[in-house]
Chain A
């Protein structure tokens, strides 16, 4: 059958492309988590300026389409400041900034879901706010957030396909290159869809498993 023939023929190129897709997604999500923690703490802080920074960031990212963000960062910034992006770097920058905003909200939700008594108990023992956050609140927040973090991973993974139009050789770009040679639109776009579907299904299953074991010692 032609489908399997093509599937095997291009398997090596897809494995390379998959590595790039996952690499970009993982790096972006790691940076996005750091951004998320920082902007979440900004949002929870007493300082109006920090709250304002956080609110502005969230509002811009959530108020504009990802494509516009890509175009602006990819073409706009180099034009204004006279430099050239490396495709890997710009991809990670864009996806981190984008996912960072959603991670901020997600982390805030996780922190607020931790019982207030936890912070009070930690502070009453003499721990500073930062120590209480690190040792007591964040570990519990992360645990409840894990399924949503995996969900964000899935979103970013799929979003990374947009960067194919800017030359990042991930799964979609790989397919577009192949298709431009062999004209097998139907089969090749089905194949790339299957690749995404398999990865996402595995991640979804993982999220479900984690969701089931969120209580300690039970």
Chain B
């Protein structure tokens, strides 16, 4: 299968601190890649580099054939095809649920108002929030906010979705509803990169798991390989703490 994302020798530092030291991997179309690792391992930074929210210091990232490090690449255009879901939702508090979803298609003129409205209704149905159309984010629970955030990023019809610890800020009883929406996306064949601590999710729907530590991908493999038969001592150590 064609590679959707190619990362070669990625280096990223914040000031003197080198967070990503040498990261290379390829992600195929339709693949679901789960990134795990201790905090400070660079997994969130890695994800944020994939849509250029972080400017990288070395290496190359190619998404959909666009080289993100090439000055001529229109990053705004590339980002339209990459949805991102954040730990803290980052819904727009001054817009209603439906306005949140319609904002990007309308601002970027990829849809007419009618199309955007229909799309928003369809997405809200998909994430099970049709009854929350016209209220403001402040009135939603954490799980509902995150489902709206997922719907919002789907409004641009992206072909890659990035999830940055989407359930970490949620109360335990709300984790399931968000993971279910994500599983629906997996079933639809979406290419996904998910940074998470939800090992159950990783095992169930992940095609591949990357274990990161200290700015490197220490080990990668299928869920069965990595979770049941880890080879690296650091992986074994990490898994013994979280499983």
Residues of A within 8 A of B (CB): 115, 117-118, 120-128, 131, 135-136, 139-140, 143, 215-218
Contacts and interface: CB of A to CB of B under 8 A. Distances in A.
A117 B135 contact: no
A126 B80 contact: yes
Contacts, number: 73
A139 to B, nearest CB: 5
Interface of B: 51, 53, 76-77, 79-80, 82-84, 86, 88, 90-94, 96, 103-104, 107-108, 135-139, 149, 152-153, 156
Given A117-B86, A217-B135, A217-B136, A126 B104 contact: yes
Contact of B107 (A120, A131, A140): A131
A128 B93 CA distance: 19
16 contacts: A118-B92, A120-B53, A120-B90, A121-B149, A122-B92, A123-B79, A125-B104, A126-B76, A126-B77, A128-B76, A216-B93, A216-B94, A216-B137, A217-B93, A217-B135, A217-B139
B105 to A, nearest CB: 9
A126 B103 CA distance: 11
A124 B51 contact: yes
A210 to B, nearest CB: 15
Contacts of B53: 120, 123-124
Contacts of B79: 123-126
Contact of B108 (A124, A126, A136, A139): A126
A217 B137 contact: yes
Given A123-B79, A216-B137, 5 more contacts: A118-B90, A124-B51, A135-B107, A216-B94, A217-B96
Contact of A140 (B80, B94, B108): B94
Nearest to B96: A217
Given A126-B108, A216-B138, A217-B138, A121 B94 contact: no
Contact of B156 (A123, A125, A215): A125
A125 B152 contact: yes
A123 B152 CA distance: 13
A127 B76 contact: yes
Contacts of A121: 84, 86, 90-92, 149
A147 B136 CA distance: 23
Contacts of B136: 216-218
Given A124-B53, A126-B79, A218-B138, A143 B94 contact: yes
A70 B84 CA distance: 52
B102 to A, nearest CB: 11
B153 A124 contact: yes
A122 B92 CA distance: 9
A120 B104 contact: no
A218 B137 CA distance: 10
Contacts of A125: 79-80, 83, 103-104, 108, 152-153, 156
Nearest to B136: A217
A131 B110 CA distance: 15
A120 B86 contact: yes
A136 B135 CA distance: 17
A117 B149 CA distance: 12
B54 to A, nearest CB: 10
A127 B135 contact: no
B12 to A, nearest CB: 16
Contact of A124 (B82, B96, B139): B82
By CB atoms of chain A within 10 A, which of B76, B83, B137 has the most? B76
